[in-house]
Structure 1
Amino acid sequence: MRALIAAAIGLAVAFALVLTITAMGSPAGETSPKPLLTTVPSHP
């Protein structure tokens, strides 16, 4: 029974943490217009 209560409390804390992070929203900022290069461009 203690394990079940501990699991329920853990789930409630995790759910509250997710709701808090979601309520805060995404951080303000801008994305770069330049694409990210994942490989080194080859020069002929």
Structure 2
Amino acid sequence: MRAFTAAAAGLAAALLLVLTITAIGAPDGTTSPKPLRTTVPAHP
């Protein structure tokens, strides 16, 4: 019974966290039009 109660409490906490993040929403802003460099350019 303790395991069931602990699992239910953990599930409720996770659900509350997800709902809180969903309610806050994504931050406002724009993405950069310039591409990011992910590798070092090769030297000829």
What fraction of aligned residue pairs are identical, expressed as a percent? 73
Specify the SS of the correspondent of 2:38. Answer: coil
Q: Which runs of 4+ in 1 moved over 3 A?
A: none
Specify the SS of the correspondent of 2:40. Answer: coil
Q: Which residue does the alignment assign to 1:17?
A: 17
1:3 correspondence with 2:31: no
Q: Which residue does the alignment assign to 1:34?
A: 34
Extract unaligned runs of 5+ from structure 1. none
How many residue pairs match? The answer is: 44
| TM-score, length basis structure 2 | 0.82
| TM-score, length basis structure 1 | 0.82
AA matched with 1:11: L
Q: CA RMSD in A?
A: 1.2
Instruction: State the distance in 2 between where 1:15 and 1:9 align.
Output: 10
